[in-house]
Amino acid sequence: MTEQSVSQGARRGRARRGEGERLREELLAAAATLLREGGEPALKVRAVAAKVGVSTPAVYLHFRDKADLIDAVCLRAFAGLEREMLDAATGSDDPFQALRLRAAAYAHFALNHAVEYQLLMAPRSGQARSDLAGDAAQALLDHLVAAVQPCVDAGVMRGDVRELTLGIWAAMHGCVTLMLSRPELPWGRDPAAFAEHVGRMSGLGTALLSRIEGVSETPPSSKTFARVLDAAGRKLGST
Amino acid sequence: MTEQSVSQGARRGRARRGEGERLREELLAAAATLLREGGEPALKVRAVAAKVGVSTPAVYLHFRDKADLIDAVCLRAFAGLEREMLDAATGSDDPFQALRLRAAAYAHFALNHAVEYQLLMAPRSGQARSDLAGDAAQALLDHLVAAVQPCVDAGVMRGDVRELTLGIWAAMHGCVTLMLSRPELPWGRDPAAFAEHVGRMSGLGTALLSRIEGVSETPPSSKTFARVLDAAGRKLGST
DNA sequence: TGTACATCAGTGAACGCGCGTTCACTGATGTAC
DNA sequence: TGTACATCAGTGAACGCGCGTTCACTGATGTAC
């Protein structure tokens, strides 16, 4: 009764001799589904096994422990993110435009793989962080750097690429994180559109800031900002 | 043996007749300390009681349950954040500058109250979210709106204030969140300085983007951006 | 072509522990008379 | 001014359950001879 209340999967047949790996795939898929449906706390070893239609200890045939299972799920999710970002790049040959597309792909992925994204980005509560997540973050940064570098080369931005990238990344990350954790805030009808807005905002801000950082000791007044930005806006709009 | 291994607080004397509230304060302080030292998983009812030097059930004399205790801790932290942001405002009468100062105060608070901040901003894992956190987020947004509104009034930004604010907030939130969860990334020597960088970046980006959004159908090329931004940067630097 | 044997792919039941929470009690402190 | 009584501020011990993990077993599938 107690155990059955979790179970959803039909009794599945046992795999043939060399096909043990099949169960591993099914477990991963079930775990991902559980995460999507109920968030991290829904990912219980018992639940994963039940969803596949297999006994609980069978999970340990393919994963050392629960953390190992979670790692595997994250690894898959991350591979998906990498693929989407690479695909997004092959749309435009204009560097700034390409950056925008990648940022949009990033947001798209995060919003559609909420829990995996959070699992990858936020340290696993209470556990010693597996270095998997750290590696993923580093790889992600490298990806983004590869998108920002052409902007620097094209003269849209100046300065240290990693620093520029981190700022843009932070903005995108904050946007999707806040959207996921506080959906009740006024994001408008289309979350993806808002994320794109933030992507453009951070790109433009980074480009402009990289030109004036450290130039003048006392920052310009609001009036000056308004005047100069008005001119810039007009020029950008009229082209 | 098992229970004692947690205990740190000396045996404290029992409060006088009307002074029962004293324990409540001590429990809150102990909980905050535990959070700071060991993160959310370190916040155990037993540990809080032991730290104060009181038996575990004594906690339930002042808090309905664990969630109630956490709520109270968050409420305090949030009050601190509100105070710091208000204080930060009283430094400059230039709207854009004031916004920068508030953003810096925001980052400062988040970096120094990491766990409380995350507790407030991220939904409590697995639990039905108490509306406290939701209310706090709303209040925070209102605070930030109050800082952005003068920028709109002064003509530095245009458009819907809440939308502008959300973008800037998202950037700041992402910055501190990423710093807290991935300290190994190359943030430079001074995290607060980087957070300020992101604050300026988002402010500038928002201001510029609010002038060109929806203006031209096809976005300008990287070359155009570079040229226009160069001119704007020169003008801002020479004032 | 049959038969013993290794091994693969699992299962049922239970262990064990961390941790929030409750129960029944206790000793000190003030108050009514 | 003493004494019975209410109540406040706690305590010690245990309950109970969720959940990861392990133990000892089992039946099907292929392989050696």
The model's pLDDT over A187-234, given as tens digits with 9 standing for 90+, comes to 999 999 999 999 999 999 999 999 998 777 788 999 999 999 999 999
The tokens for A205 are 């801000």
Q: What is the pLDDT of residue B213?
A: 85
Is-contact A34 A48, C-beta < 8 A?
A: yes
Query: Do residue A156 and residue B237 have CB atoms under 8 angstroms apart?
Result: no
CB within 8 Å of B192: residues ≥ 6 apart: B104, B107, B108, B111
Q: Quote the minimal CA–CA distance from B30 to chain A in Å.
A: 19
Distances (CA, A) of B192 to A132, B64, B107, B116: 27, 38, 7, 18
- Dihedral sign of CA atoms B159, B161, B163, B166 in order: positive
Q: Flag whether pLDDT at A172 surpasses 70.
A: yes
Is the C-beta atom of A189 closer than 7 angstroms to strand C?
Answer: no
User: Do A222 and B170 lie within an 8 Å CB cutoff?
Assistant: no
Residues in CB range of A144: below 8 A, 6 or more apart: A102, A106, A165, A168, A169
> What is the mean pLDDT of the segment spanning A59-80?
94
Which residue of A lies nearest to B156 if distances are taken between CA atoms?
A: A226
C-alpha to C-alpha distance for B126 and A164, rounded to whole angstroms: 36
Spatial CB neighbours of B165, under 8 Å, sequence gap ≥ 6: B141, B144, B145, B147, B148
Segment of A14-23, B36-45, B160-169 carrying the highest mean pLDDT: B160-169
Cβ atoms within 10 Å of B156's Cβ, excluding its own: 27
Q: Which nucleotide is nearest to A47 (CA to C1')?
A: D19
Instruction: Show the tokens assigned to B223.
Output: 């070359």
A46 touches strand D (CB under 7 A): yes
Residues 6 or more apart whose Cβ sits within 8 Å of residue A78: A116, A120, A136, A139, A140
Return the pLDDT at B4: 36
Would you state the structure tokens that stand for residue B234, as one six-digit string? 């020169």
Nearest to B90 by CA among B74, B75, B72, B105: B105
CA distance B89 to A227: 24
**Average confidence score pLDDT of chain A:** 89
Positions 12-71 in B, CB within 7 angstroms of strand D: 14-20, 22-23, 49, 54-58, 61
Where does the pLDDT of residue A9 fall: very low under 50, low under 70, confident under 90, or very high at 90 and above? low
- Closest-CA residue to A159 (of A219, A86, A90, A208): A208
**pLDDT exceeds cutoff 50 at A164:** yes
pLDDT at position A7, please?
A: 40
Identify the sign of the CA torsion A226, A232, A233, A234: positive
Look at B133 and B136; give whichever has higher pLDDT. B136
Across the range A5-25, mean pLDDT stands at: 70
- 10 Å Cβ neighbour count for A217? 5
Closest CA to A169 of A212, A199, A146: A199
CA distance A140 to A106: 10
CA distance A203 to A58: 49
Choose from A132-146, B84-98, B135-149, B158-172 the range with maximum mean pLDDT: B158-172
Percent of chain A topping pLDDT 70 = 90
Q: Express each pLDDT in B223-237 by its tens digit.
A: 999 999 999 999 998
Averaged pLDDT, B107-131 = 79
Minimal-distance CA residue of chain A relative to B239: A220
Which amino acid belongs to residue A40?
E
CB count within 10 Å of CB A141 equals 17
For tokens 């405002």, name the residue.
B89
The chain-wide mean pLDDT, for chain B, equals: 89
Question: What is the pLDDT at residue B239?
Answer: 66
Query: Which chain A residues are Cβ-neighbours of B126 within 8 angstroms?
Result: 39-41
Phi and psi at residue A192, in whole multiples of 5°? Answer: -60, -35
In the three-class reduction of DSSP (H, G, I as helix; E, B as strand; rest coil), residue A1 is classed as coil
Residue B72 has what pLDDT?
Answer: 95
In Å, how far are A143, A159, A160, B223, B225 from A149, measured between CA atoms?
Answer: 10, 10, 9, 15, 16
Asked whether A27 and A52 are in contact (CB, 8 A), the reply is yes
pLDDT at B122: 81
The pLDDT of residue B66: 96
What's the Rg (C-alpha) of chain A? 23
Cα angle value B119/A129/B70 (rounded, 5°): 20
Query: What are the φ/ψ torsions at residue B176 (nearest 5 degrees)?
Result: -70, -35
Are residues B204 and A204, on separate chains, in Cβ contact within 8 Å? yes
Running DSSP on this structure, what letter comes out for residue B239?
-
Q: Test B156 with A226 for CB contact under 8 angstroms.
A: yes
Interval A142-155 mean pLDDT: 97
- Give the 3-state secondary structure of residue B215: coil
Give the CA distances from residue A115 to residues A28, A132, A176, A204, in Å, rounded to whole numbers and listed in that order: 14, 16, 12, 29
Which of A83-92, A142-151, B128-137 is the least confident region? B128-137
Distance, first Cα to last Cα, chain A: 69
Please report the pLDDT score of residue A239 as a whole number.
Answer: 66
Closest CA to B106 of B41, B171, B51: B171
CB B147 within 8 A of CB B127: no
DSSP state of B138: H
Taking the C-alpha atoms of residue A232 and residue B232, their distance in angstroms, rounded to an integer, is 6
Confirm if B31 and B43 have CB atoms less than 8 A apart.
yes
Higher-confidence residue of A121 and B166: namely B166
Confidence at A6, pLDDT banded by 50, 70, 90: very low
**Chain A nearest CA to B47, separation (Å):** 15
pLDDT at A1: 34
How close is the nearest chain A Cα to the Cα of B155, in Å? 6
Q: Who wins on pLDDT, B84 or B91?
A: B84
